[in-house]
Amino acid sequence: MPRENRFRRTEVRITLAIWLALFLLCARRPARAQNNTSTARENARLAQGAPQSSAFVITSTAFNDGEMIPRRFTCDGSNISPLLTWTKPPSGTQSFVLIMDDPDAPRGDWVHWVMYDIPDGTSGLPDNLPPVPEMQTGARQGMNDFHRFGYSGPCPPKNKEHRYFFRLYALDQQLGLMPGALKMDVERAMQGHVLAKTELMGRYER
């Protein structure tokens, strides 16, 4: 076989291999994008689509829903957690999850507080909870976006009012996660176990 023909066949094989690799790469990308979209939809469903119960309500003596959060509960004050109380949860509740976040943060949703495995029968949390991994009641605290256990108060950029949501979930089981879990870990473990959700929103501007 002439050397020129062998070179041409080699070039053709190399070209076909390159095109095949590109085809396989492009074929995988939509699937990955679809998986990411599905995950985002599931997170949105968990955060917003959990059943609401008019009898299950979270409140605070520090501020009413939609009002300004007092300075003492922010990074400009004592930075302590506010007192929270809630009414009777749905039948079958085994534990509660509390998540506080700021959807108006410059980098997107900013997590200020994650608490889970709050025992059934609990009807509230006192103010100034210690930033410890696990409470004496067995409730556990996750890691917030300040890389701290427990509560870290509102601390928005100056002259920018932000909203802070305290979302309480009633679950049909305990999660059993170790202390220090992230919000995404807790939300993933909660899927399919949320009986009801209630929320309290406060605002703060520096």
CA distance 87 to 175: 22
* Owner of token pair 């089981």: 173
Fold of 52-204: Phosphatidylethanolamine-binding Protein (3.90.280)
Tally the residues of the chain.
206
3-class DSSP assignment, residue 188: helix
Domain boundaries, the chain: 1-49, 52-204
Flag whether pLDDT at 80 surpasses 70. Answer: yes
Whole-prediction pTM value?
Answer: 0.76
Q: What is the distance between the alpha carbons of residues 97 and 172, in angstroms, rounded to a whole number? A: 11
pLDDT in tens, 10-66: 555 655 555 555 555 555 544 333 444 444 444 454 544 566 656 899 999 999 999
Angle at 96 between CA 143 and CA 141, to 5 degrees: 20
The alpha carbon of 137 is separated from its chain's Cα centroid by a whole number of angstroms, namely 23
List the Cα angle 52/119/69 in 5-degree steps.
60
pLDDT tens, residue by residue, 155-201: 999 999 999 999 999 999 999 999 999 999 999 999 999 999 999 99
Q: What are phi and psi of 191, to 5 degrees?
A: -55, 125
Cα–Cα distance for residue pair 131/143, rounded to 1 Å: 10
Report which DSSP code applies to 185.
H
Q: Which segment of 83-87, 104-108, 123-127 scores lowest on mean pLDDT?
A: 104-108
